[in-house]
Amino acid sequence: MVNKKILAKVDGNEITQEMFDSIVRNLPEEHAAHAATEEGQKRLLDEIISGELLYIDAMAKKMDEEESFKSILEEAKKNMLQRYAIEGLIMDVDISDDDALAYFNANTSQYAKNEEVTASHILVTTKEESERIAEEINEGLEFAEAAKKYSSCPSKEVGGNLGTFEKGRMVPEFEKAVFSLPVGVVSEPVETQFGFHLIKVEGKNKPGVAEFGEVKDSIKAQMLNQMHFDLYTNKINDLKNQHTVELF
């Protein structure tokens, strides 16, 4: 239902909730989120009122009759009509799940996944310190708590969690240890250029192919972009054959 609630009037011209909501819908996402707050709504309404005042003032001065404005308006009209024509060309295009699945099955090599590990670590300066911490962990101290207590790495704030990564992301000594370590086991101290690490692997993903559901949306977006491009290119080529284009 259209919301005809009147939010303000400027010289009798109504600014309705419907107009306000329409403007919000066309705002960038971050601005629209701010417009959902009480402060944001007040500020946006003030901007709409300011725009209405400028419009009234410009019309009173007959600025709409000036040749420079007419030229700008004509150029804007041309640009808008071009965009409207493009939107009309592509608006009914859609990619079905079956289309995306067929593309996925024909291009599985594009969706290969390398071996990945999810790991946490504790970084300290000396081997002796890392051995002492390892003893505390063996005696029952949780690895994440030990990381928060002792690690010098910023990851200490999240219990030493380094997230999930594949080979090539870490220094060689660390990589060799983490990819050979069984899940749930705390490593012996591992020395790198940064110091000594205790590493715990939280999980492993074997190499393979991504599930269709993981990549379906990106495939559909990719296919849609390609179809839009093809439609646009074909349309322009057809128009070039129908019209005379001269380059100088």
Terminal alpha carbon distance of the chain: 55
Domain ranges in the chain are 1-63, 66-112+210-248, 115-206
How far is residue 2's CA from residue 20's CA, in Å, rounded to a whole number?
A: 12
Compute the average pLDDT of residues 145-157: 97
Contact 157, 110 (CB under 8 A): no
Confidence class for position 170, pLDDT limits 50, 70, 90: very high
pLDDT of the residue at 3: 65
Angle in degrees, CA 179, 152, 159, rounded to 5: 60
- Dist. CA 159–CA 69, nearest whole Å: 62
Long-range Cβ contact pairs of 140-147 (< 8 A, separation 24 or more): 143/186, 143/198, 143/200, 144/120, 146/122, 146/198, 147/120, 147/121, 147/122
CA–CA distance, 154 with 156 (Å, rounded to integer)? 5
Structural element, H or E, at residue 164 = strand 161-166
pTM of the model: 0.59
CB 193 within 8 A of CB 73: no
Confidence (pLDDT) at 1: 56
pLDDT score for 4: 80
Q: How confident is the model at residue 58 (pLDDT cuts 50, 70, 90)?
A: very high
Identify whether the C-beta of residue 90 lies closer than 8 Å to the C-beta of residue 233. no
Position 2 confidence tier, pLDDT thresholds 50, 70, 90: low
Architecture label for domain 115-206 = Roll (3.10)
Predicted confidence (pLDDT) per residue in 178-225, tens digit: 999 999 999 999 999 999 999 999 999 989 999 999 999 999 999 999
